[in-house]
């Protein structure tokens, strides 16, 4: 098929939804489809056979687009709609495929052109207002909920990335449209040599300490302050490596580490290319996800499961829809429990049993052929055809 994809994101940047968009594009083009991606002006180009990228004009002074809802997205989404409309006039498309809030725009465009629409639902839009502390307005939430309901009702198929979203779509009465597709794919990484690994370990833990690693953004819902408080309570030779730090967030967390008296036991690493993350994971002894809120499964969880390293995570639905006590060290979202979990994972050899069970699960269930099959199912459902 010839597919028009709308992605209201800076593509490509190494963060949540843009990573998901990257792998959707890879899968669609690997399946032989041609895709025109209409997206924001920021980001790095990526190339796949059959992919064409069209970007909206860059607004004066636009340098960054923060994660989550923001006012700057309003004019960008208007431009996205206009550019996508132009594409539908100039070229023939068989299907419109939209991400996040562009689902509303995609539904309108698909109806105008009489083609099916696929909604890639990465999160619930009203819930984002709370998760990112954007607004507590009941009116705004009501508008977002109404838009979301319209998109679900008007789409031929809906891709949901976690059990929570699947339940949500079912509760809204559209469960028959849902295709459950977890974001478990990883970027190809350069081969890691023993020398590379040794160098990385020395950079993070110059005195040979054990390494607990967090990789991701520093948004408040990720629980980085809690993780620092827990690290201060861990006894024994261990350092905490925080990968993904940027600007003010990094400086704020550095001050937090200093106030806890553990500045010398915390390594801050700026955001790195996705292909380098496996090197940091390989250098770590323990991986940690201290998330405090939200219901979507963090993308990093799937990489962590494949690593063969013990994983410590908060016992919240955001994690437990994928994790259980047989494959992870689950802890309560407080400093004492998290510190105890880190200590167990770092210094108790029995934690490795959970890591091996996690890897076995990931190797068995999270495969590229399974991913391609789910993408094919979503497209077939949208086209009114039986999935192959």
For the segment 103-131, what is each residue's pLDDT rounded down to a tens digit? 999 999 999 999 999 999 998 876 776 65
Give the list of residues 6+ apart from residue 60 with CB closer than 8 angstroms, or none. Answer: none
pLDDT number for residue 294:
84
* 285-326: pLDDT as tens digits: 999 999 998 888 999 999 999 999 999 999 999 999 999 999
pLDDT number for residue 80:
97
pLDDT number for residue 250:
86
Work out whether strand 157-160 and strand 117-121 pair parallel, antiparallel, or are unpaired.
Answer: parallel
Residue 19 has pLDDT above 70, yes or no: yes
Angle (CA) 338 345 214, round 5°: 65
User: How far is residue 79 CA from its own chain's centroid?
Assistant: 25
Which phi and psi (to 5°) does residue 379 adopt? Answer: -70, -40
Tell me if 2-184+367-383 shares its fold with 194-365: yes
Residue 386 has pLDDT above 70, yes or no: no
Give the list of residues 6+ apart from residue 76 with CB closer than 8 angstroms, or none. Answer: 8, 40, 41, 56, 59, 65
* 196-235: pLDDT as tens digits: 999 999 999 999 999 999 999 998 899 999 999 999 999 9
* pLDDT > 70 in the chain, percent: 97
Omega prior to 12 cis, within 30 of 0:
yes
* 339-357: pLDDT as tens digits: 999 999 999 999 999 999 9
- One of 3.40.50.2000, 3.40.50.300, 3.30.70.20, 3.40.630.30 is the CATH number of 194-365, namely 3.40.50.2000
Give the list of residues 6+ apart from residue 8 with CB closer than 8 angstroms, or none. Answer: 39, 40, 73, 76, 77, 80, 99, 100, 101, 102
Structure tokens belonging to residue 51: 């992919």
Neighbouring C-alpha atoms within 13 Å toward the C-beta of 140:
12
Residue 134 has pLDDT above 70, yes or no: no
Q: Are 100 and 125 in contact (CB under 8 A)?
A: yes
* 33-46: pLDDT as tens digits: 999 999 999 999 99
The CATH number assigned to the domain with range 2-184+367-383 reads 3.40.50.2000
Please state the pTM of the whole predicted model. Answer: 0.87
pLDDT number for residue 161:
94
CB atoms within 10 A of CB 199: 13
Confidence grade of residue 63 (pLDDT, cut at 50, 70, 90): confident
Domain assignments of the chain as residue spans, ordered by start: 2-184+367-383, 194-365
Mean pLDDT of 367-380: 96
pLDDT number for residue 131:
59
In 3D space, the residue among 233, 252, 109, 253 whose CA is nearest the CA of residue 241 turns out to be: 253
Supply the mean pLDDT for the chain.
93
Residue 56 has pLDDT above 80, yes or no: yes
Q: Are 10 and 102 in contact (CB under 8 A)?
A: no
pLDDT number for residue 139:
81
């Amino acid at each position: 098929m010839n597919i028009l994809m709308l992605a209201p994101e800076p593509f490509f940047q190494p963060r949540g939804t843009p990573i998901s968009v990257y792998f959707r594009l890879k899968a669609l083009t690997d399946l032989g489809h041609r895709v025109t991606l209409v997206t924001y002006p920021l980001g790095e180009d990526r190339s796949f056979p059959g992919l064409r990228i069209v970007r909206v004009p860059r607004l004066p002074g636009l340098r960054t687009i923060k994660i989550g809802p923001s006012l700057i997205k309003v004019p960008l989404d208007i431009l996205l709609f206009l550019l996508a409309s132009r594409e539908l006039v100039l070229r023939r498309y068989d299907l419109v495929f939209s991400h996040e809030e562009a689902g509303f725009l995609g539904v309108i465009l698909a109806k105008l052109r009489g083609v099916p629409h696929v909604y890639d639902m990465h999160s619930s839009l009203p819930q984002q207002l709370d998760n990112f502390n954007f607004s507590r307005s009941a009116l705004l939430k009501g508008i977002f909920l109404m838009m979301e309901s319209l998109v679900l009702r008007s789409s031929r198929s809906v891709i949901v990335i976690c059990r929570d979203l699947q339940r949500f779509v079912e509760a809204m009465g559209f469960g028959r449209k849902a295709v459950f597709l977890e974001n478990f794919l990883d970027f190809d990484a350069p081969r890691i040599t023993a020398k590379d690994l040794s160098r990385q370990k020395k950079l993070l833990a110059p005195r040979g300490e054990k390494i607990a690693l967090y990789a991701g953004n520093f948004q408040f819902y990720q629980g980085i302050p809690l993780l620092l408080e827990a690290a201060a309570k861990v006894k024994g030779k261990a350092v905490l490596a925080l990968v993904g730090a940027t600007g003010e967030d990094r400086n704020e967390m550095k001050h937090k580490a200093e106030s806890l008296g553990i500045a010398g036991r915390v390594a801050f690493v700026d955001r790195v290319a996705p292909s380098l993350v496996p090197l940091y994971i390989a250098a770590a002894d323990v991986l940690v996800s201290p998330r405090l809120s939200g219901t979507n499964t963090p993308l990093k969880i799937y990489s962590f499961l494949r690593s063969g390293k013990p994983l410590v995570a908060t016992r919240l639905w955001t994690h437990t829809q994928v994790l259980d006590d047989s494959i992870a060290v689950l802890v309560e979202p407080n400093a004492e429990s998290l510190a105890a979990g880190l200590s167990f994972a770092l210094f108790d050899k029995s934690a490795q049993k959970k890591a091996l069970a996690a890897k076995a699960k990931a190797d068995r269930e999270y495969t590229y052929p399974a991913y391609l099959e789910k993408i094919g199912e979503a497209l077939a459902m949208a086209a009114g055809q039986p999935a192959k």
